[in-house]
Each structure stands twice: as C-alpha cells, then as structure tokens.
C-alpha cells in the first residue's frame, strides 16, 4: 500500500455548507444574492477563513454597506443553519478508514470563531486524528504554505498522503506540494479512488 494517510477538506466534503440556508423563510433568495454580491461575500468569507476577526469584517460591512449590516449579523448569529448535516456517505468512509488503521485528518478553510459548529453537524469530524483549521493559523487554502504546515505539523509524507477537496484550486495547490490530490465529487467516487490506491476498505 502506497498511501498511509487521507486528509479531508470539511465543507461540502464531510459537512454540508450552504450560506443561503440561514435566510430561508426570512429573506427572499434574490435579496440574499444581491446582498452577497454587494458586499463581496466570497472575499469577506475567505478573509474570515484566513483568520480575520468577525468583528473586523462586520465593521467593514457597517462602514461600506450600512444597509447590509443587519443581514450580515443575521448570518453570523444563525451560522449553524448553514451547515445542516453530513455529506452523504462521508461518515461511513471516515469510519472505514479509521477502522482499517489509516491515519485520517482534516484541513479546512473555516473561521476559528465558528468552527465549534462543525462536529455537531457532522459527528464523523470527531473521529479525525486532527483538523488543521485555517482560521487558527491565519493561512487559507489555496495558499501553499498551509499544505507545508500540514505536512510538517503532522509528519505527513505528501507523496503517501491523499488530499481531497471539492475546490479545484485547492486540489491543484495540494498537488503542487506533492500530495496525491483528488477532487471530491461524492463519497462513493472517492471511496473507489481510495480502493484503487490499495487502501483496505470496502468498495461502494
């Protein structure tokens, strides 16, 4: 067997994430889309993932888009609604890997201030040996430094470590650092990829 560790991204790999869900029944979808577009939510969210404090991000929204501050506050207050549960099949895959004696870890872009919501939404996260949280270290994927930190902190050999993520840029960054990087589409396909690599887990 040439693989001795598997590293999972979390959002939409182990736990579902949809930032529109907190607003269901409270704001019209089109209005939420307009709010996200106006404040450039992807950029703000990436900054939070990279360690920016929520209070600082909120102050920027209040200063630049005061009419959007209440909605931004609402998202923060109801963040748990954005992660409604595990990704189908991923928990079983984690359990099978752990049961086979494979090291299983996580590498996630996630604000340190909201990460405590992750495991209650997807309990399999608690089975991981460790999770490197971008918000804790101030570096977010696809920055190559976070993959170097992952390898050094947990004594991983990139060439013998499968990394999976639903983001193509993150997968490309991992591959650039020598990881066996796999784009996640669903748990069954990832399971098949791992079986082909010789990991002793049941096929789908």
Q: What is the DSSP secondary-structure string of 141-183?
A: TT-HHHHHHHHHHTT--GGGEEEEES-HHHHHHHHHTT-EEEE
90 & 141 share domain: yes
39 & 125 share domain: no
- Look up residue 9 and give its two tokens: 């991204």
Residue 202 within any structural domain of the chain: no
Cα(99)–Cα(186) distance, integer angstroms: 21
105 & 42 share domain: no
The band of 204, judged by pLDDT with boundaries at 50, 70 and 90, is: confident
Task: Give the rounded percent of residues in the chain with a pLDDT score beyond 70.
Answer: 100
47 & 91 share domain: no
99 & 11 share domain: yes
73 & 172 share domain: no
- Look up residue 138 and give its two tokens: 């101030």
Residue 203 within any structural domain of the chain: no
Task: Quick: pLDDT tens for 53-109.
Answer: 999 999 999 999 999 999 999 999 999 999 999 999 999 999 999 999 999 999 999
Task: Quick: pLDDT tens for 168-195.
Answer: 999 999 999 999 999 999 999 999 999 9
Q: How many structural domains are present in the chain?
A: 2
- Domain span at 137: 5-16+84-196
90 & 10 share domain: yes
105 & 40 share domain: no
Out of 52, 82, 112, a domain closes at 82
């Amino acid at each position: 067997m040439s693989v001795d560790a598997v590293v999972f991204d979390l959002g939409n790999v182990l736990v579902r994430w949809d930032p529109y869900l907190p607003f269901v029944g409270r704001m019209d979808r089109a209005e939420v889309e307009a709010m996200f577009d106006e404040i450039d939510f992807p950029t703000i969210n990436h900054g939070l993932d990279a360690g920016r404090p929520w209070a600082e991000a909120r102050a920027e929204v209040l200063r630049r888009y005061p009419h959007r501050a209440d909605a931004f506050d609402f998202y923060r207050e109801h963040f748990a609604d954005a992660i409604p549960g595990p990704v189908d099949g991923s928990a079983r895959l984690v359990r099978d890997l752990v049961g086979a004696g494979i090291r299983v870890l996580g590498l996630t872009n996630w604000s340190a201030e909201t990460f405590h919501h992750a495991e209650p939404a997807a309990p399999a996260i608690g089975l991981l040996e460790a999770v490197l949280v971008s918000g804790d270290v101030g570096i977010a994927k696809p920055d190559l430094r976070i993959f170097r930190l992952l390898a050094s902190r947990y004594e991983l050999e990139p060439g013998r470590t499968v990394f999976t993520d639903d983001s193509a840029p993150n997968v490309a960054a991992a591959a650039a650092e020598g990881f066996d990087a796999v784009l996640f589409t669903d748990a069954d396909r990832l399971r098949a990829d791992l079986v082909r690599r010789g990991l002793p887990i049941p096929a789908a």
